Amino acid sequence: MRTIIGVVFLAQLASAQGTGTAAAAQPATSVTAAPTGATATPAARAAFIRENYTKFEYRIPMRDGVRLFTQAYVPKDVFSDARTYPILMQRTGYSVPPYGADLYRATLGPSELFEREKFIFVYQDVRGRYMSEGNFVTIRPQKPVKNGPNDTDESTDAYDAIEWLVKNVPGNSGKVGVWGISQPGFYATAAMIDAHPALVAVSPQAPVTDYYLGDDVYHNGAFMLAHRFSFYMGFRDREGAPAPPERALPFDYGTPDGYAFYLNLGPLSNADAKYFRGQQPMWNMNIDHTTYDENWQSRAIWKYLKGVKPAVMLVGGWYDTEDPQGLLRQFDFMEKNSPPADTLVMGPWNHGGFSRGAGDRLGNVNFGSSTAQFYRERIEFPFFLYHLKGRGEGTFPKAWVFQTGMNQWRRFDAWPPKEAKSAELFLDSQGKLSRARPSAAGYEEYLADPNRPVPYLNQVSQGILSTYMTEDQRFAATRPDVLVFKTEPLDHDVTAYGPISIDLKVSTSGTDSDFVVKIIDVFPNDYPDYNAPTPAAGAPAAAAMPMGGYQELIRGEPFRGKFRKSFEKPVPFEPNKPDRIAFNLPDVAHTWRQGHRIMVQIQSSWFPLTDRNPQKFVEIPKAQPADFQKATQRVYFGGPDGSRVQLRIVE
C-alpha cells in the first residue's frame, strides 16, 4: 500500500509542477497532550524538524491559471506507518524561507507544541510575492460578486489552495486549519469567507482588518507616520520574475533621533521626493487617500464576514502598536452577523507578542506571570487540537481576556461582559476628573505649535518603540500644551471592560486640529518598585524603574478634527466656535486599584507616531511649510454638554 501511495503522489507532483524529496490558574480546557513549558534549544528544534518531517515544494494552480509557490512539511510516519494528519496552513506576503526542498525551517507552526504533536505544515507565498506568480496588491480588495475564473481575491486563492492540498498532499486527514499574524492574519481572515468545506478552524492573530479605521495606516483620520515610513522602506513590490527575497540594506536615518528626522522631513510630500523617489507606490497610496474612500473601503475585509462557518479564534494584544482596533471590530461584526463558534483572546502583548517569549512584562510594566506561554499552551494549542484532531473538551469561552492592573486571566460568555455598566467621568476646572457633573461651565486652553509637536515618548528612538503603549506619561503632563485631568485617589478598585467613549466639546483658532486623548493609570507615590528586567546575556544589569507616581498609558488615540462629521467628507472648523468630537478608544480590560488615580491627557500632536496637522484646513500631504501655524485649543467642561469620558465599569 505504501508503494502505491508513493507512485500516485509522484504523479500528482509532476502534474502540479512541484518538487519534493476564568481565574488565572484555570485553563481554557484540559488537554493532557499539551506539555508544560516547551523549552528545546533552537538547534534541537531544527534537528527534530529535519528528523521527523519531509519537505515538499509545489506550484499550485489557481482558477485563473496563476501558480502560487507552496511548501509542505509532512511527518515522515505518513510514509512509514500510513499515519494521517490535519493540515495547518499560513499564507503570507513576507516570504516562506528557506527556499529549496532540501532546506528546512528552524520552527514550524504557531509554537513548538505543534511541531511535537505533528501536523502537516503548509506555507504559501501569496499572489505576486517572491516565488508566486501574478501581481501583488496590498491587502487585496475583496470581490463579493464573482463572474468567472478571472475574478479572484484572497478568499478564492485560499479556497483553491486548500482544494489542491487536500487532494494531493499525502497523509492528510481532510481537515485544514489556517493561522497568521499581522498581514498573514488578513489572509487567514480572507480564508473564512466562502470557506472551503475542509477548512474547520481559523485563527487571525493581530490581523490587518481595516487599514483606515484604526489599523496600521490611519487612526481616526490621523496618519501613522513613523511606522508607515519604516514599513514601506523595507516592504517593496517585487521587480521582475518570481524569485526568493534578496537581502535588503537597512535604511540610514542619519540620526538615532526619529523625532528630529521626521521634523526635518517637513511636509509629507517630501518623503517621496527625498527617499522613495517614485519607487514605492504603496507609500503613495497611503498619502494619496486621506479620507475613507473606495480605496480603503474595498480593503475593509470585516464587512464581508457574514455566515462564517469554520470555528474562529481571534487573537490580539492590548498593547498592539500596529493593529489594535481591527481585531475588535472584526469580532463585533461577526457577533452581529450569523456568529460562528468564535472566541476572542486579548492579552497584555504588543504586536505578535503572544507568539514569542514569556509575556511576563512589557517595558516597565510587570504582569506577574508568563502570559504568552499560558496562551500558547492553554488557549491556542487546545483550540487547534480540538478542531483539527478532535481531542480535548472543546469548551471555549466567548472571550479569554487578561485583566491588566489585577494581572489575571478572565473568561466571559460575552464581550464586553454584560455586568459592565456605563459610567461617566466629567472634565472639570483645575484639572479635576470626577463622577459628578460640574455645574459651572468653563474651559481649559493651550497653545499648540505644529513646529514643536508633543513627542509620543520621553526618550530618543529612531522608530516606534514596541512598548510605548505602557510608557510613563509624566513627561507629557509637564508640558504647557498638554491638558491634564485626574480623579482623587480611588477609595476602591475600578475595572473597565470594553471600549472607552470620548465626547469632547472643543474649539480651535485654526480651521483644523488634532485632539489626542490618553487614558492613564496614575500609581501612588509610595508604590513599590518592580524588579528590574532580566538583562540579556553579557549585558549590564538594568536598574529598576521607579514606579512611584508612574503614569501608565492605558489607551491613547488621535482624532483629526476635520473628520468629526464623517471620515468620507472632511469639514473645516469655524475658528473659535465650539464644536463636538466623539469617538471610541479601543477596548480595555483594566483595573485601577484602590489608591490609584484615573487621568486624562489631551494634546494636539503625538509625534512622530502621527503626522503633524498644520492646523489649517488643507490636504495635509500637500501642505507647505507656511501652512503649519500655531492655534489656541480650548476644551470645554461643565453644563449639560461639557466634555466627558464614558467607561463600562465593574466596581
Q: What average pLDDT does range 314-330 have in this prediction? A: 95
- Position 11 pLDDT exceeds 70: no
Own/partner long-range contacts of 252-258 (Cβ < 8 Å, ≥24 apart): 253/462, 255/462, 256/460, 256/462, 257/460, 257/461, 257/462, 258/226, 258/460, 258/461, 258/462, 258/463, 258/464, 258/608
By mean pLDDT, which of 17-26, 368-377, 505-514 is the weakest?
A: 17-26
pLDDT value, residue 240: 84
- Position 339 pLDDT exceeds 90: no
Q: What average pLDDT does range 378-391 have in this prediction? A: 97
528 band by pLDDT with thresholds 50, 70 and 90: confident
pLDDT value, residue 21: 35
Q: Which of 619, 627, 646, 629 is nearest to 221 (CA)?
A: 619
Q: Which of 395, 424, 399 is nearest to 409 (CA)?
A: 399
Q: Which residue has the higher pLDDT, 297 or 12?
A: 297
Q: pLDDT per residue over 116-170, tens digit each?
A: 999 999 999 999 999 999 999 999 999 999 999 999 999 999 999 999 999 999 9
Neighbours of 539 (CB within 10 A): 8
544 band by pLDDT with thresholds 50, 70 and 90: low
% of the chain exceeding 90 in pLDDT: 86
pLDDT value, residue 529: 74
pLDDT value, residue 531: 56
pLDDT value, residue 361: 95
Query: And the C-alpha cell for 73?
Result: 512539511
User: Is-contact 207 185, C-beta < 8 A?
Assistant: yes
Residues 569, 555: Cα–Cα separation, whole Å? 27
- Position 37 pLDDT exceeds 80: no
Q: pLDDT per residue over 406-462, tens digit each?
A: 999 999 999 999 999 999 999 999 999 999 999 899 999 999 999 999 999 999 999
Q: pLDDT per residue over 557-614, tens digit each?
A: 999 999 999 999 999 999 999 999 999 999 999 999 999 999 999 999 999 999 999 9
- Position 35 pLDDT exceeds 90: no
Residues 128, 154: Cα–Cα separation, whole Å? 12
pLDDT value, residue 587: 97
- Position 29 pLDDT exceeds 50: no
Q: What is the pTM of this model?
A: 0.91
pLDDT value, residue 538: 57
- Position 34 pLDDT exceeds 70: no
User: Is-contact 303 256, C-beta < 8 A?
Assistant: no
Q: pLDDT per residue over 548-566, tens digit each?
A: 999 999 999 999 999 999 9
Architecture of domain 2-18+37-141+153-210+299-412: 3-Layer(aba) Sandwich (3.40)
| Domains 2-18+37-141+153-210+299-412 and 217-298+418-527+546-651 belong to one CATH topology | no
pLDDT value, residue 83: 96
pLDDT value, residue 6: 30
% of the chain exceeding 70 in pLDDT: 92
Q: pLDDT per residue over 259-280, tens digit each?
A: 999 999 988 989 999 999 999 9
Fold of 217-298+418-527+546-651: Jelly Rolls (2.60.120)
Domain ranges in the chain are: 2-18+37-141+153-210+299-412, 217-298+418-527+546-651
pLDDT value, residue 22: 34
pLDDT value, residue 36: 45
Q: What is the 3-state secondary structure (H, E, C) of 18-42?
A: CEECCCCCCCCCCCCCCCCCCCCCH
Beta strands in 295-428 (DSSP E): 311-317, 342-347, 361-362, 365-366, 399-403, 408-412, 421-427
Average model confidence (pLDDT) for the chain? 91
Q: Which residue has the higher pLDDT, 17 or 471?
A: 471
- Position 28 pLDDT exceeds 70: no
- Position 403 pLDDT exceeds 90: yes
Helix (H) or strand (E) segment spanning residue 270: helix 269-271
